[in-house]
Structures are given as C-alpha cells and as structure tokens.
Copies of this chain bind each other. A is one copy, B any other.
Amino acid sequence: MIIRRKTRTLYVGGVGIGGQCPISVQSMTNTDTKDVQQTVEQILGLEAAGCEIARVAVLDTAAARAIRVIKDQIGIPLIADIHFDYRLAVAAMESGADGIRINPGNLGGEEKIAKVVVCAKRHQVPIRVGVNSGSIEKDLLKKYGYPTPEKSTALIESAMRNVRLLEKHGFNEVKISIKSSDVLTTVNSYQELSKITDYPLHLGVTEAGGLIAGTVKSSVALGLLLSKGIGDTFRISLTRDPVEEVRVAFELLRSLKIRERGPELISCPTCGRTRIDLFGLAEEVEKYVQTMVSPLKVAVMGCVVNGPGEAKQADIGVAGGNGVGIIFKKGKIWQKVNEDDLMRVFMAELKKMEDDGRKKLT
C-alpha cells in the first residue's frame, strides 16, 4: 500500500490540494486565452474528461481580463500562468483567477513580488512556485553547472529561494513544482524536495514530448513518485490535445489504485492464437468505454489460452474461439455467440450495463 507523505492543505477554488485531499488532475489550455470562446470550449472538454483544475497562459492584460468571462462559463477552478510581468499576476487575481503559477525569480525583484503577495492575500489566492530546468537562475547555473548530476540541487535551491521570498512577505499558501525534461532528475528532485518541505507538491515532467514518449516519461517519473507517496496534484504534459493529458493522468492514478474514474478496459495483445478480429472489437469497445461513467471492468480477449482466466475478473468480458465467441460475466459464461453476432451482442449488453450503472450513480 502507498503511504502518502504528509503535506499542508491549500485550496484552488473549491479543490483542496495536499493533506488528505485526493491527488488532483490538472491540465493547461493551448488556446489564445483572449479567445474566450475557444478557451471555454477547450476547458469544458477537459472538464468532461475529468480534469479538476485548468490553467491558462496570461500573456497580456487582455488575457488577464478574459479570466473573469471564462470563469463564468466553466465549472472548475482556473489558474493563471504568468512569466516576467508581475502586473499580469495582479490583474489575473483581480479578474478572479483561483490560483497563479509564477516563477518569482523572473518577476523582476522583491518589490514586485511583494505587490503580488499583497494581492494574493487579499484575494486568498494560492501561488505555485514553478521552476524548471529552463528557468534556473544564472548564479545557480554558475554554481552548479548545467547540466550536471547536481541539477536536482540547483532546481531545489531555486525553488526554495523563491519560496523563502514569499514566506518573507508572510505568504504560505504555496505549492511547488520543479520540473525537468529528464525522468531521473525529476524523480530525484521531488524526492529530495519532499524531505525538506511540507508544502504540497505539483508533479510533472516538462517538455516530455509527443504522445508516446511523453506518456512513457510521465508514467515512469510520476509512477515512481506517487508510489512513494510523493505528489499532491499533477499535470501530464504532452504535445497534444490536452484532453489526452487528462486521460493519461487517470490511467496513471488507476494503475496505482490511487483513484478510479469510469470503466477499465483489459485487452490482450493479440498473437497468432487470436481467433477473432480483436483490433476491431477492442477499438470499438475502447471508443465506447471513454464515454462510460460506471466503474465496470471490461475485458476483450482474443483466445482461449489467457482469455477466460483473465475475463473471470471482469464484470463483462468476451473471448474469441473458432467461429464462436463466449461472453463472460463475473466469472461465469453468460452467452455463447456466433462470431458474426459477437460484437453486436457484446456491445448491446455492455451498453445496458452502463445504463444500469448510470442509474445507480444518479
């Protein structure tokens, strides 16, 4: 069992982060924040996928102002991502942002940070100190070299220096992220950081890459950290539609039995033994499963070797034979069906179970 590290709790809108709060899933829009309609549309898509906190880039005053209009049309808290210009942080909070993400080191000095803190206190808005390997201050790069085995040390020193700056101004509603594009550096950095602070940690691998490379890197890094009880909220970064980020996030939480959302699909990798069109069936089921809400375990198996044994665990499962398929329910054969009818019968029954499940949930 995973024993979660103890952290303080803060709130981004109504979503608690840290302490006993569920590990929350975040994502970030890739629209122009000023384009309210596109941004709202994307956030509603993220919400539907289960995203619990959305982040938008705030590049100018118009984007900061758009936050208020966006917030009126969405159901989840909104975080403003700000670099370089402290006035945008202030404007975003005044416009109703539920949280801001800054790198205090690039806001232009302590006086400006003080102004951000005053505003954050007034609006009760938490701040994420987000450093990454691309944002480490010049003096730390000089001190530790770049890239070196001590890169973790540089990331941690950069983050904690920025946190101390906020603390100095009496501000403690802080969470921290220290992202690297390197898996081992990311894991090592968060592990070391978690030893010296009890602020909640926002996990992530930065510039992780495309769908496959990014999913692998994020799963390895965050899998290692979450299994050690480290991490209170996270974003999977992919160079893709952010809805994919949310999907990967929940697969990750499910794989470690931390949180479940919707159904689980088990399917076998097809081999020479496969006796039905498994790709077609699995794809059809995978597509439908993404629209499901009830937490059913669904199995699509190609053959009699592993199929029945595994499908036994499933609430509903199908295994292919020679021309005839078998549909299982909770370990028992529910129906034998000719291959030609198999997909139709299976999908109809799956949809019926989902409908029943939905009724129970509402």
Write the residues of chain A forming the contact surface with B, with a CB cutoff of 8 angstroms: 28-33, 55-59, 63, 81, 83, 132-136, 146-147, 181, 183-184, 206-217, 219-221, 223-224, 227, 237-240, 242, 244-245, 247-248, 251-252, 255-257, 264-274, 278-279, 282-283, 286, 299-301, 305-310, 312-313
Contact = CB atoms under 8 A, between A and B. Distances in A.
Contact of A268 (B183, B239, B313): B239
A206 B306 contact: yes
B183 A272 contact: no
A28 to B, nearest CB: 5
A336 to B, nearest CB: 19
Most buried by B among A214, A255, A268, A300: A255
B224 A28 contact: no
Nearest to A221: B255
Contact of A272 (B29, B210, B251, B313): B29
A257 B310 contact: no
Given A207-B301, A209-B266, A216-B219, 17 more contacts: A28-B271, A29-B272, A30-B270, A30-B272, A32-B272, A57-B273, A134-B310, A135-B306, A181-B313, A184-B256, A206-B310, A213-B251, A215-B219, A220-B223, A224-B224, A238-B269, A239-B269
6 contacts: A58-B272, A59-B273, A132-B309, A213-B265, A238-B269, A239-B279
Nearest to A29: B272
Interface residues of A: mostly helix, strand, loop or mixed? mixed
Contacts of A239: 267-270, 278-279, 282, 300
Nearest to A331: B146
Given A135-B306, A209-B265, A212-B247, A30 B224 contact: no
Nearest to A252: B216
A244 B299 CA distance: 21
B306 A257 contact: no
A216 to B, nearest CB: 4
Nearest to A34: B272
A272 B63 contact: yes
A178 to B, nearest CB: 13
Nearest to A226: B220
Contacts of A274: 30
A306 B256 contact: no
Contact of A271 (B81, B213, B223, B267): B81
Contacts of A83: 273, 305
A30 B283 CA distance: 16
Contact of A251 (B132, B184, B217): B217
Given A206-B310, A270-B30, A310-B181, A215 B212 contact: yes
Nearest to A210: B286
Contacts of A58: 272
A248 B209 CA distance: 13
A206 B264 CA distance: 14
Of the candidates A28, A81, A209, A256, the one having the most CB atoms from chain B within 10 angstroms of its own CB is A209
A210 B267 contact: yes
A30 to B, nearest CB: 4
Contact of A252 (B56, B211, B220, B310): B220
A237 B135 contact: no
